[in-house]
Amino acid sequence: MRRSEWTGWVLAAAMAVAASQALAQQDEGPILRPKPKPAAKPAGTTLLVLCDLACDWTLDGEAKGHIQAGGSVKANVVIGQHLVVADTLDGLDKVEKEIDIETTKQTLVRIELTPVHDARLQVEQAASDKAAQEAREKAARKLAAQQFTQAIRLDNQKRYEEALPLYHSACYGGVAGACNNLGVFYVNGQGVSQDYAQARTLYQKACDAGEMMGCSNLGELYDNGQGGAQDYVQARNLDQKACDGGSMAGCFNLGHMYESGEGVTQDYVQARTLYQKACDGRYMTGCFRLGVLYHSGAGVDQDDAQARTLYQKACDGGDMDSCRDLGLFYQNGQGGSQDSAQARALFQKACNGGNQIACRNLSDLP
């Protein structure tokens, strides 16, 4: 091989190796890569926190320590949203503040715990005052109830002058029944001068407080025109209220209005219904008046036997008018057998109970 041919072959081979190496480098990719630029750090700033009361505080849930009353602390923060929470040292008062920092300038946060603290104390004081007031009222009600009980005992012993001030204190201490009983004293002049107007006032107070006996007694005063103008409409309304509220005296009084036709259209059937309700409720005068209706046949079929039964029930319950009329039935043999001895015993019982007609009946007996 000539020198020129050898030189060409060597040159061609070298070029082929170089080309092969270049292709290999293209398959593997570049050996050196550019490094990424580091992320920029968030801008920082300073937070100045002031607390008007001594407090412990946190920043974004991290405890930061204690701040003296009226003092302040600094903390490094980044721009953005943050939550500052401060509690009084006793843990009873708390303030939370959400802040949005948009500048690198120092941010001031004032924590005002005093309004929260004062508001809590006001609520606690109000609750304490309310509890104290309720305790005083409870004690007053208890005392009034005791006075009412003592007054009833003295009343039953006919010690009216001693019972009077106790009824008065109990009435104005919130015991509606005491107001009613005090009104009865003024109606009857027991321990005090008779005063129907004052009785009206007391019965009204009792009725307004839910004492139905006060309503029925007030209705009776309106019915009779005692202590003020006569007003049958008002009497009827009060008796109806009392009857509906469970006062058998109210049912009786309303029944009497229907029997007599005072303030209402006379209606013996309605009267009988109301007397029956009163009698069933053990209001003995209702039994007596129901017996009168059966004796007269007003609103019912005339039935002296039924009248005698009702008179007996009422007499046993302490109604002296019933004892007197039952005595007449036994004297005359009405509704059953005639029995003079029984008639005498009944007249005597009624007379002893203050029924003057029975006393005269007794004196007329042979």
Do 350 and 317 contact (CB within 8 A), yes or no? no
Residue that is written with structure tokens 């039952």 in the block = 326
SS3 209: coil
CA neighbours closer than 13 Å in the CB half-sphere of residue 59: 19
Co-location of 333 and 357 in the same domain: yes
The interaxial angle of helices 284-296 and 268-280, nearest 10 deg, is 140
Do 241 and 250 contact (CB within 8 A), yes or no? yes
**pLDDT for position 43:** 80
Residue type, position 48, single letter: L
84: CATH: 2.60.40.10
Do 116 and 95 contact (CB within 8 A), yes or no? yes
Cα–Cα distance for residue pair 365/328, rounded to 1 Å: 11
317 CB neighbour count, 10 Å cutoff: 15
Q: What are the residues whose beta carbons fall under 8 Å from the beta carbon of 92, sequence distance 6 or more?
A: 117, 120
Residue that is written with structure tokens 């190496």 in the block = 21
Cα–Cα distance for residue pair 176/71, rounded to 1 Å: 61
C-alpha dist (Å) from residue 132 to 119, 124, 146, 172:
20, 12, 21, 20
**pLDDT for position 362:** 92
Residues in a beta bridge with 127: none
Co-location of 185 and 292 in the same domain: no
- 297 found inside a domain: yes
- 96 found inside a domain: yes
Co-location of 94 and 142 in the same domain: no
Q: Report the run of H or E that residue 2 belongs to, with start and end.
A: none
CA neighbours closer than 13 Å in the CB half-sphere of residue 174: 11
182: CATH: 1.25.40.10
Cα–Cα distance for residue pair 10/1, rounded to 1 Å: 13
- 147 found inside a domain: yes
Phi/psi at 29 (5° precision): 85, 175
> Structural domain tally of the chain?
3
Co-location of 196 and 221 in the same domain: yes
Cα–Cα distance for residue pair 234/220, rounded to 1 Å: 10
- 19 found inside a domain: no
Do 163 and 155 contact (CB within 8 A), yes or no? yes
**pLDDT for position 366:** 84
SS3 266: coil
* Whether the predicted model's global pTM rises above the 0.85 cut: no
Do 281 and 248 contact (CB within 8 A), yes or no? yes
Angle at 231 between CA 226 and CA 232, to 5 degrees: 115
- 81 found inside a domain: yes
Cα–Cα distance for residue pair 324/318, rounded to 1 Å: 11
Q: What are the residues whose beta carbons fall under 8 Å from the beta carbon of 351, sequence distance 6 or more?
A: 358, 359, 362
Boundary-marking domain end, from 246, 281, 312: 246
**pLDDT for position 303:** 96
| DSSP string of 214-251, one letter each residue | HHHHHHHHHHHT-SS---HHHHHHHHHHHHHTT-HHHH
- 251 found inside a domain: no
Co-location of 197 and 276 in the same domain: no
Tens place of pLDDT per residue across the chain (366 aa): 444 454 455 455 555 545 555 544 555 545 556 666 565 566 889 999 999 999 999 999 999 999 999 999 999 999 999 999 999 999 999 999 999 999 999 999 999 999 999 999 999 999 999 999 999 999 999 999 999 999 999 999 999 999 999 999 999 999 999 999 999 999 999 999 999 999 999 999 999 999 999 999 999 999 999 999 999 999 999 999 999 999 999 999 999 999 999 989 999 999 999 999 999 999 999 999 999 999 999 999 999 999 999 999 999 999 999 999 999 999 999 999 999 999 999 999 999 999 999 999 999 998
Co-location of 157 and 99 in the same domain: no
Q: Report the run of H or E that residue 12 belongs to, with start and end.
A: helix 3-28
Q: Whole domain around residue 323: which residue ranges? A: 267-366
For residue 158, give the DSSP letter. T
| DSSP string of 131-170, one letter each residue | HHHHHHHHHHHHHHHHHHHHHHHHHHTT-HHHHHHHHHHH
Boundary-marking domain end, from 54, 88, 113: 113
Residue type, position 211, single letter: E
